[in-house]
């Protein structure tokens, strides 16, 4: 039987892109999964609305509501905390919203886990917390630099998780994924927006072409969550997961067009470019610590991942003009 067979697991943010893939993987491994999704008046369960399983319960509410989160934590073995506001451009517009969700939401999860006595909390970080690389590849010793309100709140959330381990002995560990991509990802992210424009628009409109990112396919990120959740001796530590390969946005677009079978003009739009001192210029993952601790090793080739995004967007055409920039 899988390590996860019969275990009760709570996934915050489980209706979203990465969260929905994690929920599906946990169900496949036999876990009993509760999902905390964001409340909405339509009772929309996002990407898990079509998942039918007797091992799945979905609860809609606010991750920053301690009473609500606490009600979901009793009897839970593992909490995977993914719920967050993640769009960097919107964090320039509404930074207080990011504090409310990313920092207060993390405190609520940590307090609920502490009260319920869970076996482990996996707190989700982000490679954006490193800022522009001071060296590459980036290991977990790299300084944390808040170059956007988004990353500042995520750094704060990481430090809260660390403090709860040091102060209260909470069994929490931090997973720091580099840029994850795959089916279901918001078109605000560079790969799905570029692929959608390659398929449905006469040109591809993007921001800066020079920044370098480590693009990791979603199933490899999920393997990191599952591996870390089951590993021994990891409490209180931080683990990077990524592909270990850096590509400029320009190179990513070349791959997108190759996989899409297109050769469309690329247009740089100023409105898509971050403020100069806020742009993170280079992110490349060193996942040595994760490999040593729980055998993490990326499996999916970049262009195979791009093909999965292409196929998903071909089956799910966006219901809006994909060339229009949306914060």
pLDDT 10s digits, 186-233? 999 999 999 999 999 999 999 999 999 999 999 999 999 999 999 999
Query: Has residue 41 been placed in a domain?
Result: yes
* Cβ neighbours for 113, distance < 8 A, ≥ 6 positions apart: 73, 76, 79, 121, 170, 172
Rounded distance, CA 121 to CA 289, Å? Answer: 19
pLDDT for residue 1: 74
For residue 257, tell me if it sits in a domain.
no
- Burial label for 275, CB within 10 Å (0-12, 13-18, 19+), is exposed
pLDDT the model gives residue 239: 98
Measured distance CA(242)–CA(258) in Å, rounded: 23
Residue 25 is assigned to a structural domain of this protein: yes
What CATH number is given to the structural domain containing 127? 3.40.50.720
How far is residue 283's CA from residue 222's CA, in Å, rounded to a whole number?
Answer: 20
Structural domains of the chain, count? 1
Cα–Cα separations (whole angstroms), residue 87 to 95, 146, 148, 150, 220: 11, 15, 10, 7, 22
Specify if 317 maps to a domain: no
The β-bridge partners of 122 are 80, 173
In a domain? residue 110: yes
For residue 24, tell me if it sits in a domain: yes
Q: What is the pLDDT of residue 210?
A: 95
Give the model's pLDDT for residue 149: 97
pLDDT of residue 327: 82
Provide the pLDDT for residue 224. 98
Rounded Cα distance, 306 and 290, in Å: 25
For residue 197, tell me if it sits in a domain: no
Place of tokens 């993490």: 296
78 beta partners: 9, 120
Ranges under pLDDT 70 in the chain = none
How many C-beta atoms lie closer than 10 Å to residue 286's C-beta?
Answer: 20
**Per the domain annotation, does 42 fall within a domain?**
yes
What secondary structure letter does DSSP report for 250?
H
Q: Which range of residues forms the domain containing residue 154?
A: 8-184+216-245+283-300
Q: Which of 324, 282, 288, 289 is nearest to 134 (CA)?
A: 282
Confidence at residue 325, expressed as pLDDT on a 0 to 100 scale: 86
């Amino acid at each position: 039987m899988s390590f996860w067979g019969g275990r009760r697991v709570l996934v915050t943010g489980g209706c979203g892109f990465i969260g929905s893939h994690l929920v599906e993987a946990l169900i496949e491994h036999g876990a009993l999964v509760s999902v905390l999704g964001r409340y909405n008046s339509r009772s929309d369960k996002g990407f898990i609305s079509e998942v039918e399983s007797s091992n799945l319960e979905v609860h809609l509410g606010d991750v920053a509501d301690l009473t609500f989160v606490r009600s979901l934590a009793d009897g839970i073995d593992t909490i995977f905390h993914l719920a967050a506001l993640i769009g960097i451009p919107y964090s320039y517009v509404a930074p207080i919203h990011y504090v409310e969700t990313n920092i207060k939401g993390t405190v609520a999860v940590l307090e609920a886990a502490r009260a319920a006595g869970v076996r482990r909390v996996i707190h989700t970080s982000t490679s954006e917390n490193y800022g522009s690389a001071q060296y590459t590849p980036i290991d977990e010793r790299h300084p944390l630099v808040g170059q956007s309100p988004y990353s500042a709140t995520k750094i704060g959330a990481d430090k809260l998780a660390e403090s709860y381990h040091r102060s209260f002995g909470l069994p929490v560990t931090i997973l720091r994924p580099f840029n994850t991509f795959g089916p279901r990802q918001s078109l605000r992210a560079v790969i799905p927006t570029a692929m959608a424009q390659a398929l449905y628009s006469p040109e591809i409109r993007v921001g800066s072409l020079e920044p370098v990112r480590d693009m990791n396919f979603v199933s490899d990120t999920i393997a990191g969550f599952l591996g870390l959740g089951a590993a021994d001796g990891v409490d209180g530590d931080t683990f990077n997961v990524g592909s270990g390969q850096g590509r400029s946005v320009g190179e990513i677009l070349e791959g997108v067009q190759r996989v899409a079978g297109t050769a469309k003009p690329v247009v740089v739009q100023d409105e898509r470019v971050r403020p100069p001192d806020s742009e993170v210029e280079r992110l490349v993952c060193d996942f040595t610590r994760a490999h040593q601790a729980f055998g993490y090793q990326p499996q999916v080739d970049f262009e195979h991942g791009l093909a999965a995004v292409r196929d998903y967007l071909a089956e799910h055409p966006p219901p809006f003009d994909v060339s229009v920039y949306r914060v």
